[in-house]
């Protein structure tokens, strides 16, 4: 009896050890990413920027602070997971305290390279200049177009330059009236969806609602799906109209016409390429936040 009890205790201790180890691993995996130490005006933990890029950016921001007093910093990390970039960025702002105390004129450009997300976090004192709308335009019109081509150094440099000019009082140019076609690489995924919805779903909706209303409903559904995949209202309207037309004239085609049910489609995004870890800064040890506060102002984006 004693031997059985000893073996049971021994087995239980092993199970408890395995469970404890599993919980520790799960807890570590879900832990928030630590806020990097503020070692300079530009902190790059991904090795994306060359030493020359970091030096040029740091000098520009140093000169700007000397002239204007406001502080702007750049942070590049591989990921912010499991947090969103908004949650991570506000923690960075609270930890770094960029900007002058009680003036709160600091701003941070945060890039999560592997997540393909970025954010401009704005201190209280700059929210009148770097508004949410202005910050979003800088991201959409200046930074992400270069990020999509792989020019991270150029996108960050141009974005920082535009942020500095806005803080200096220079207005943004009038928005372009050209149609934004969003993520064109995802349009290929919309084609089979459009065909399937036009002929199969459209047939069901036409039966339920009639030819005209059913076709309108089909086009609307396809337009919403296109907006989800491509992120462009212009493309969504065009694709939705095509879906409406195909659904409306579908009865003119033989019943065998239509996409095969065995077809498949996929939508994927490229993950970040390999880069070395570590941080870089050209003014290490000579820069620190001035005590500025952040309240969540700014904007986020992706590429």
Q: What angle do CA 36, 38, 42 make, to 5 degrees?
A: 100
pLDDT at 235: 73
Domain hosting 68: range is 42-176+274-302
Instruction: Tell how far CA 250 is from the center of its chain.
Output: 39
Determine the Cα–Cα distance for residues 79 and 114; give it in Å rounded to an integer: 6
Residues 6+ apart with CB under 8 A from 106: 70, 71, 72, 73, 93, 96, 97, 98, 99, 100, 123, 125, 126, 289, 290, 292, 294
Shared domain check, 286 and 247: no
**Taking Cα atoms as reference points, which of 272, 295, 253 lies closest to residue 115?**
272
Shared domain check, 236 and 170: no
Let me know if residue 206 belongs to a domain.
Answer: yes
**Sheet arrangement for strand 71-77:** 42-44, 71-77, 106-112, 117-123, 294-302
Shared domain check, 166 and 225: no
pLDDT at 209: 80
Shared domain check, 201 and 157: no
Shared domain check, 164 and 98: yes
Q: What is the mean pLDDT of each run of 10 residues along the chain (303 residues)?
A: 52 45 45 89 96 96 93 96 93 94 94 96 93 94 96 97 91 56 55 70 78 80 72 74 78 49 39 41 66 90 94
Shared domain check, 279 and 139: yes
Shared domain check, 220 and 144: no
Let me know if residue 28 belongs to a domain.
Answer: no
Shared domain check, 204 and 71: no
Shared domain check, 243 and 95: no
CB 229 within 8 A of CB 267: yes
pLDDT at 238: 83
Handedness of CA 245, 250, 252, 254 (dihedral sign): positive
CATH number of 95's domain: 3.10.310.50
pLDDT at 192: 73
pLDDT at 187: 59
Let me know if residue 25 belongs to a domain.
Answer: no
CB 282 within 8 A of CB 58: yes
pLDDT at 274: 36
Number of domains forming the structure of the chain: 2
* Longest pairwise C-alpha distance within the chain: 86
């Amino acid at each position: 009896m004693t031997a059985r009890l000893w073996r049971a205790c021994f087995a239980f201790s092993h199970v408890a050890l395995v469970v404890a180890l599993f919980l520790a691993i799960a807890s570590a995996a879900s832990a928030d990413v630590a806020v990097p130490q503020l070692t300079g005006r530009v902190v790059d933990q991904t090795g994306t920027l060359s030493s020359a890029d970091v030096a040029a950016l740091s000098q520009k921001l140093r000169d700007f602070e000397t002239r204007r007093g406001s502080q702007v910093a750049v942070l590049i990390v591989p990921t912010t997971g499991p947090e969103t970039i908004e949650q991570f960025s506000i923690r960075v702002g609270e930890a770094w305290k960029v900007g002058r105390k009680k003036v709160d004129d600091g701003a941070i450009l945060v890039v999560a390279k592997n997540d393909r997300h970025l954010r401009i976090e704005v201190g209280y004192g700059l929210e009148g200049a770097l508004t949410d709308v202005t910050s979003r335009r800088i991201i959409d019109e200046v930074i992400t177009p270069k990020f999509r081509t792989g020019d991270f150094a150029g996108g960050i440099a141009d974005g920082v330059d535009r942020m500095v000019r806005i803080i200096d009082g220079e207005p943004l140019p009038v928005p372009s009236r050209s149609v934004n076609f969003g993520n064109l690489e995802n349009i290929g995924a919309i084609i089979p969806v459009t065909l399937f919805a036009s002929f199969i779903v459209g047939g069901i909706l036409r039966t339920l609602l009639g030819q005209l209303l059913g076709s309108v409903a089909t086009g609307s559904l396809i337009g919403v799906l296109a907006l989800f995949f491509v992120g462009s209202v212009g493309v969504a309207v065009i694709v939705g109209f095509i879906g409406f037309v195909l659904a409306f004239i579908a009865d003119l085609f033989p019943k065998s016409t239509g996409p095969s049910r065995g077809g498949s489609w996929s939508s994927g995004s490229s993950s970040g390429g390999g880069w070395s870890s570590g941080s870089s800064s050209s003014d290490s040890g000579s820069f620190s936040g001035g005590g500025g506060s952040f309240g969540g102002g700014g904007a986020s984006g992706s590429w």
